Copies of this chain bind each other. A is one copy, B any other.
Amino acid sequence: MSEHSWIHELLQIDGTKEKFSEKQLKILEAAVEMFAEKGYAATSTSEIAKKAGVAEGTIFRHYKTKKDLLLAIVTPTLFKSVAPFLAKEFVREVFDNEYETYEQFLRTLLSNRYAFVKKYLPAIRILWQEVAFHSEIKQCFRHVFTEHVYPKFARIVRHFQEKGELAELPVDSVIRLTITSFAGFLATRFLFLPEHHWDDEAEMERTIRVLMNGLRR
């Protein structure tokens, strides 16, 4: 029972201990599975109700509209996707010499995000797919990125440029190259070729090495 414990975890976005009824969790579980598989627009509320083992009306008791149900899944996923950058200690950890090099920082970041994607893959798939079609999600993403991720990332890059580890490339380009390297690996690993034989540790090491050789002064 409770195969869906990870969904419960995903939805605990802030400290507030939100409680979900058994049926509500069943709805969320079914919705995540079907949205990930067929897409939001191609999944009907009646299908979700059927798979969740509840009446269709129960869905609308908890979520006013079908889109509200989507947002209940996607919004927490979006925040957790950039969680390291939302944590208060994050930047301080970098500047307090907890990471002596950008490479070390990258290594921690990648293995952290690797674990995240592995754990929450279906929800991430939904976010990835639906962000293209729903302006609310896109705007939320934009806001979180420009307000929280970008400025902190930029400080970190500048820090290691001043230390002389990183070449004097434009900060935006360093950030872009870093994110696309990581996202490229994770997307290939989990989305495009999940059944390929992967030596995850080795491939992550190569990804970081190639990236660092490129970015190094």
Chain B nearest CB: distance from A194 CB in Å? 12
Which of A45-53, A84-92, A176-184 sits within the interface?
A176-184
Q: Is A207 an interface residue (CB 8 A)?
A: yes
Q: How many residues of A contact B (CB 8 A)?
A: 32
Question: Can you give 7 contacting A-B residue pairs, CB < 8 Å?
Answer: A39-B39, A42-B133, A129-B132, A169-B206, A176-B203, A180-B181, A181-B184
B39 touching A132 by the CB < 8 A rule? yes
How many of these chains are in the complex?
Answer: 2
> Which residues of chain A (159-217) have a CB below 8 Å from chain B?
169-170, 173, 176-177, 180-181, 183-185, 187-188, 191, 203, 206-207, 209-216
CB neighbours (8 Å) of A191 from chain B are 132
B41 touching A210 by the CB < 8 A rule? no
Given known pairs A39-B132, A129-B132, A132-B39, the reply for A214 and B209 (CB within 8 Å) is yes
